[in-house]
């Protein structure tokens, strides 16, 4: 008889299908908040009528400011700058509008506000590391400021309590993890994704495909998580293909959002990921490759490498992709290619001279060591990298 623990984090509400601007006002009223500070990116701030501008306008007198300079991979300097701006505005609610980098940064802004952190170096005392189930060590105040997430991509950072923050000096990731870091509410508005560049929407969608597949392959997966993984994979494969065919199909965008939600929930419950994620961390922090693109180039390769010993497990994944007679890793690569996403390490600027450093960096991330087909040495990593090259 299988045993385990399904963890539930401190996320209270997921609002879907309503315009984000209206939903944010309703959520602020629900939580009794009157001083709302918004975090976002420069790309969204330059729009004249994007999701960021619509939310700022709808908040009216509740709006107390925006920090819109959070860069990719959530540099810790940006986290502190946003923290200090929110602190100066005396905010009582944070709203993150953007992709995974914005959402992860805002998770840690919460922590910095709770703990009085105001410098990048001071953040490190509260980092958890990438070890499975290890949480950050701090005591949450009695009435902590929380956040709402409005995703504009399909990265699914909005549903997790973990955040990856980049230490720019060393090009490495700092991990923060506490159940209270999860956004209190998530607002899924397909219209909020309309201004997202196609490459970013599709690559983050593949990131969520990565969540679904690696959680399904996890050795401690269970019937509750497996059903979520497979459903998420099917929704994503369907939704992404339909968006590619018709970018204005709002139902397809909502389908993809439900897919990312299903795909990430096994991870929030305690199921862990494998080498595609772990090598992806090394690619992102060490070489500046966007998270979505790391999954585009690494996921099929890791699946192919795993299939040599775990092939039977992939049959359910192949069926979820709608192609039961095609190896799952091939169907995933076909999906990526059909979305015009990069398929090899060369496509994302990694040359053969980088592979030595990459394979060494990869072993610093525990998901690589937790891969279902064991990866123990840099030689093992190199076998996977060759499949991706």
What pLDDT sits at residue 168? 86
How far apart, in whole angstroms, are the C-alpha atoms of residue 149 and residue 162?
A: 14
Give the burial string for 18-43 (b: 16+ CB within 10 Å, else e): ebbbebbbebbeebebebbbbbbbeb
CATH label of the domain that carries residue 62? 3.40.50.1970
Encode pLDDT of 220-263 as tens digits.
999 999 999 999 999 999 999 999 999 999 999 999 999 999 99
Whether the pLDDT of residue 131 is over 80: the answer is no
Per-residue pLDDT at 180 = 94
Residue range 131-138: average pLDDT?
Answer: 67
Task: Judge whether residue 129 has pLDDT over 70.
Answer: no
Residue 173 phi, psi dihedral angles, 5° rounding? -95, 140
pLDDT at 130 over 80: no
Query: Residue 377 has which token pair?
Result: 């040495």
Same domain, 120 and 57: yes
Count of CB atoms situated within 10 Å of the CB of 249: 16
Q: How buried is residue 340: exposed, middle or buried, by Cβ count under 10 Å (0-12/13-18/19+)?
A: exposed
* Domains contained in the chain, number: 2
In angstroms, rounded to a whole number, what is the distance separating the alpha carbons of residues 114 and 261? 28
Domain stop point among 192, 217, 240 = 192
**Domain limits at 294?**
198-388
Same domain, 169 and 113: yes
Q: What is the CATH number of the domain that holds 304?
A: 1.20.1090.10
Q: What is the mean pLDDT of residues 171-177?
A: 86
When mean pLDDT is compared across 42-56, 189-203, 276-290, the lowest value belongs to: 276-290
Report whether 25 contacts 87 (CB < 8 A): no
* Residue with tokens 């998270």, as numbered in its chain: 291
pTM for this one?
Answer: 0.93
Single residue among 136, 167, 192 that ends a domain in this structure: 192
Say whether pLDDT at 189 is over 90: yes
List the structure tokens of 234. 């099917």
DSSP string, 18-81: S-HHHHHHHHHHHHT---EEEE--HHHHT-SSSHHHHHHHHHGGGEEEEE--PPTT-BHHHHHH
Whether the per-residue pLDDT at 133 is higher than 80: the answer is no
Look at residue 346 in the predicted model and tell me its pLDDT.
97
164 and 212 co-located in one domain: no
Is pLDDT above 80 for 379? yes
């Amino acid at each position: 008889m299988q045993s385990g623990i399904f963890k539930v984090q401190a996320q209270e509400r997921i609002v879907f299908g309503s315009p984000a601007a209206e939903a944010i006002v309703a959520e602020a009223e629900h939580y009794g908040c009157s001083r709302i500070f918004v975090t976002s990116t420069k790309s969204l701030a330059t729009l004249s009528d994007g999701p960021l501008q619509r939310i700022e306008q709808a908040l009216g007198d509740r709006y107390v400011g925006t920090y819109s300079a959070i860069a990719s991979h959530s540099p810790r300097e940006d986290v502190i700058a946003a923290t200090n701006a929110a602190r100066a505005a005396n905010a009582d609610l944070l709203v993150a509008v953007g992709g995974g980098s914005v959402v992860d940064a805002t998770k840690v802004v919460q922590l910095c506000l709770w703990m009085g952190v105001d410098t990048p170096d001071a953040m490190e005392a509260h980092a958890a590391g990438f070890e499975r189930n290890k949480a950050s060590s701090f005591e949450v105040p009695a009435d902590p400021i929380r956040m709402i997430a409005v995703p504009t991509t399909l990265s699914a950072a909005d549903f997790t309590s973990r955040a990856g923050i980049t230490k720019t000096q060393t090009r490495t990731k700092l991990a923060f993890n506490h159940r209270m870091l999860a956004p209190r509410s998530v607002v899924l508005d397909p219209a909020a994704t309309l201004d997202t560049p196609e490459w970013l929407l599709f690559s983050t969608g593949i990131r969520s495909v990565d969540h679904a597949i690696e959680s399904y392959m996890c050795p401690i997966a269970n019937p509750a998580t497996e059903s979520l993984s497979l459903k998420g994979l099917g929704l994503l494969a369907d939704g992404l293909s339909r968006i590619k065919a018709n970018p204005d199909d709002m139902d397809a965008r909502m389908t993809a959002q439900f897919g990312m939600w299903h795909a990430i929930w096994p991870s929030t419950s305690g199921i862990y990921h494998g080498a595609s994620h772990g090598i992806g961390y090394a690619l992102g922090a060490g070489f500046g490759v966007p998270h979505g693109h790391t999954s585009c180039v690494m996921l099929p390769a890791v699946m192919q490498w795993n299939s040599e010993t775990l092939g039977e497990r992939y049959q359910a994944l192949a069926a979820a992709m709608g192609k039961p007679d095609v190896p799952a890793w091939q169907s995933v690569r076909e999906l990526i290619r059909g979305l015009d996403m990069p398929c090899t390490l060369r496509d994302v600027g990694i040359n053969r001279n980088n592979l030595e450093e990459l394979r060494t960096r990869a072993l610093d991330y525990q998901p690589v060591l937790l891969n279902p087909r064991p990866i123990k040495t840099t030689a093992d990593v190199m076998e996977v990298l060759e499949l991706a090259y």
